[in-house]
Amino acid sequence: MSSPPPSVQLESKDCPLHPGAADEPVLSAGDRLNGVEGEFQVVRCSVCGLLRTNPRPTASSMGAYYPDHYAPYLGTKTSAHPPAQAAWRRYARRWAESNAQRLPALPPGRVLELGCASGAFLRGLVSAGWQGAGIEYSSSAAENARQAGLVVHTGSVETAPEPAVPYDLIVAWMVFEHLHDPLGTLRMLHRWSQPGAWLVLSVPNAAALEFKLFRQHWYALQLPTHLYHYTPTTLRAVLERGGWRMQRMFHQRVLGNLVGSVGLALEGRVPLAERLVRLPSTRGWSLRAPLFPLATLLATLGQTGRMTIWARRHA
């Protein structure tokens, strides 16, 4: 078992829903995507079944596992004046809705994006009339977003300033699995939002069959940056405890997890396996369209390994 770099400090944390409950070991794995040293364990709470990485790098030393070439930072770059989309492309996106960034039908208001990376999605909302702000851990990605004219705080959610006016919508695409304190973050967002505000987020789905099949090779495992590994049941419980009530759940019509998992399982044995591992992080990757019918079928069965959740603030 390899050790993390000397700069990385580890900590052990109880299940946030049931402190003191016993844990059951599930699997061990390392950083398969960026190659940073260290092997980490996934455990399951014996009471509620919430999966988490434990022990884990502390928040102050986790930066070692987020290099500047981390794929989400590179794949969301935008400009101050993004080119207009062709009408056929807009129609195709509506027809082939992937559910990856699906939002409720809301009038423009105030929006916050957690983990906005280099700002592509937030820029789209601002262009549609929203007053937008972002929070991004990576200083280089946050600077890219600011150069595109966006208002972005660099740092963790906990270090962000209190908003002067509450938000109507908060979005977080593939962010909550990275948070050291998801309950504390949900309660903070509750304070920052209007009564009846919406929280829309996406996370990997550890209840999907692909997790059971691929285990340590599961593309969405991504240790140690993914600290929590949610199922629909455990995510609902965490949201409820944090002041948010789940309204709808969409299984995403994308097969990036499956393609990447096959690549990780075959890595070192099949020449093209590394290309499969990199493919899901490539913007507009070439297999998305031909795989969409299969992705739609598996999403209907709840088996694509990623889910998008709509939740509303409750008292």
Query: What's the pLDDT at 219?
Result: 97
Three-state DSSP state, 235? helix
Please report whether residue 196 resides in a domain.
yes
pLDDT digits (tens, 9 = 90+) for 70-107: 555 444 455 554 555 444 444 445 556 999 999 999 99
Whether the Cβ atoms of residue 283 and residue 75 lie closer than 8 Å to each other: yes
The pLDDT mean for the chain works out to 91
Per-residue model confidence (pLDDT) at position 285: 65
Please give the pLDDT value at position 93: 53
3 occurs within a structural domain: no
Q: What is the pLDDT of residue 225?
A: 96
Residue, of 54 and 2, whose pLDDT is higher: 54
Asked which of 152-161, 199-208, 278-287 is least confident by mean pLDDT, the reply is 278-287
Better pLDDT: 219 or 96 = 219
CATH number of the domain bearing residue 142: 3.40.50.150
What is the spatial distance between Cα 157 and Cα 267, in angstroms, rounded to a whole number? Answer: 35
Q: Is 180 part of a structural domain of the chain?
A: yes
Within-domain flag for 260: yes
Q: What average pLDDT does range 244-268 have in this prediction?
A: 95
Domain, as residue range, for 145: 10-313
Contacts of 230 (CB under 8 A, 6+ apart): 50, 51, 176, 177, 203, 204, 205, 206, 238
pTM of the model: 0.91
pLDDT at 72: 55
- Please indicate, yes or no, if residue 4 is contained in any of the structural domains: no
Has residue 302 got a pLDDT over 70? yes
So what's the pLDDT on residue 166? 98
Total number of domains in the chain? 1
Q: Is the pLDDT of residue 136 over 70?
A: yes
Q: pLDDT at residue 50 above 60?
A: yes
Distance CA 178, CA 209 (A): 22
Q: What is the mean pLDDT of residues 141-164?
A: 94
Q: Does residue 34 lie within any of the structural domains?
A: yes
Confidence grade of residue 279 (pLDDT, cut at 50, 70, 90): confident
Is residue 52 included in any domain, yes or no? yes
Neighbouring C-beta atoms of residue 240, cutoff 10 Å: 15
Confirm whether 1 is domain-assigned: no
